[in-house]
């Protein structure tokens, strides 16, 4: 597979630990045929040490293309081996996580967002990944880390990595990461969004491709970012917590395709076939019913019957006679009115009108390339 045979990544769903698993990606692909999907971050060490069980971590249905594998790590040998092992599965791109701020990853793990402090290593890691795969490579990062949060420091990172490796695509989470022990949730809330840094990168690195991420909550806001010149937009929590109202608009509103007319009931009918086919196939009752239903937690967001459906779902998980996804749906979907289940997606929800309107007036001064730094760092 190759990325060039798909529509461009104007819209992508962010890699989210314990969320963007194979099951979520299955229902997401049923709803949108063109959104780019990312795996959860997989540590390179996990891939290397699970060679006898790789299908559980890396296998995916062919329908999930286009799909990007995100890996994390700080050991070049393991990164190389993980890339080699992943090749057999046919991902369309491989992405290195340089943005996760969790203590487990950036703290004790010494990778994720902490790698932004070591662009020389990142360039080496990206060169290793590129040397061991035939698909494009990319980096997902923040705009800074702790007090290393100036626009020039961000540009130094981008310039060094892109100059010393084949990396030409960066996904920019438009907040800095705080590595002082606050939670990942607070790292998505406390550091302010600085979209002006992202748009300044478009100005200062015209030969690179940048995807904007962070704080974009609906397709209307995705289109606002694209109109302002973004190369692509990555959406995280909204694509999970408000699954239907987000992804059901992507193909028509972002990619200009005719509306599919798909209904929620039709999505669930297709997902039921998948769910019953994989239920318990990993062994030890994995995946179990709760894991298969979890991606649907935001499927009826704000709709009549949503709360009752969730209560029925919690009860159904405990019933011994609920042994298939089909029987689970028969037990729980009585809570949702037919009008909700059988209606195509409603009109495109409006987003915040002022999200990017003033960004051009806030751009930092142009970056002046410091070539000598790259030369020195490449030889150190």
Q: DSSP string spanning 171-232? A: EEESS-B--SS--HHHHTTSSPP-HHHHHHHHHH-TTSEEEEESS--SHHHHHHHHHTT-SE
Contacts of 12 (CB under 8 A, 6+ apart): 35, 36, 37, 38, 68, 171, 211, 232, 233, 234, 235
The Cα–Cα gap between 55 and 90 comes to 12
CB-CB contact of 195 with 359 (8 Å):
yes
* 213 is annotated as contributing to ligand binding: yes
* 275 is annotated as contributing to ligand binding: no
* 206 is annotated as contributing to ligand binding: no
CB-CB contact of 91 with 134 (8 Å):
no
The Cα–Cα gap between 140 and 83 comes to 17
* 64 is annotated as contributing to ligand binding: no
* 280 is annotated as contributing to ligand binding: no
* 194 is annotated as contributing to ligand binding: no
* 305 is annotated as contributing to ligand binding: no
* 214 is annotated as contributing to ligand binding: yes
* 236 is annotated as contributing to ligand binding: yes
Residue with token string 């239903």: 293
Q: What angle do CA 359, 365, 368 make, to 5 degrees?
A: 135
CA 241 to chain centre: 14
Q: What amino acid positions are annotated as catalytic residues?
A: 100
167: three-class secondary structure by DSSP:
coil
Known binding-site positions for FMN: 15-17, 70, 140, 173, 213-215, 236-237
Known binding-site positions: 15-17, 70, 140, 173, 213-215, 236-237
């Amino acid at each position: 597979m190759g990325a060039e045979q798909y529509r461009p990544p104007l819209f992508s769903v962010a890699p989210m630990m314990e969320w963007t698993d194979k099951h979520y990606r299955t229902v997401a692909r049923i709803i949108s045929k063109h959104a780019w999907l990312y795996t959860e971050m997989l540590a390179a060490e996990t891939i290397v040490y699970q060679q006898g069980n790789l299908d559980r971590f890396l296998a995916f249905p062919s329908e999930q293309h286009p799909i990007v594998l995100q890996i994390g790590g700080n050991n070049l040998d393991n990164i190389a081996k993980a890339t080699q092992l992943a090749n057999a599965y046919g991902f369309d791109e491989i992405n290195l996580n340089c943005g996760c701020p969790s203590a487990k990853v950036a703290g004790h793990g010494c990778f994720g967002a902490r790698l932004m402090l070591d662009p020389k290593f990142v360039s080496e890691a990206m060169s290793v990944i590129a040397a061991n795969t035939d698909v494009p490579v990319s980096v997902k990062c923040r705009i800074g880390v702790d007090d290393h949060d100036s626009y020039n420091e961000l540009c130094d990172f981008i310039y060094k990595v892109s100059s010393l490796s084949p990396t030409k695509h960066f996904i920019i989470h438009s907040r800095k990461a705080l590595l002082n022990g606050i939670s990942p949730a607070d790292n998505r809330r406390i550091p302010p969004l600085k979209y002006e840094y992202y748009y300044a990168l478009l100005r200062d690195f015209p030969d690179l491709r940048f995807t904007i991420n962070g704080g974009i909550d609906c397709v209307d806001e995705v289109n606002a970012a694209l109109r302002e010149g973004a190369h692509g937009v990555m959406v995280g929590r909204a694509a999970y917590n408000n699954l239907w109202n987000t992804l059901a608009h992507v193909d028509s509103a972002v990619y200009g395709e005719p509306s599919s007319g798909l209904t929620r009931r039709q999505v669930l009918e297709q997902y039921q076939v998948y769910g019953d086919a994989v239920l318990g196939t990993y062994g030890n009752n994995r995946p179990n019913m709760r894991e298969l239903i979890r991606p649907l937690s935001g499927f009826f967001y704000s709709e009549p019957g949503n709360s009752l459906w969730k209560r029925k779902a919690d009860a159904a998980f405990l019933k011994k006679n609920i042994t298939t996804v089909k029987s689970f749906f028969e037990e729980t979907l009585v809570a949702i009115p037919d009008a909700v289940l059988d209606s195509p997606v409603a009109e495109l929800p409006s987003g915040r009108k002022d999200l990017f309107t003033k960004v051009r007036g806030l751009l930092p001064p142009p970056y002046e390339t410091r070539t000598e730094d790259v030369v020195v760092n490449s030889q150190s």
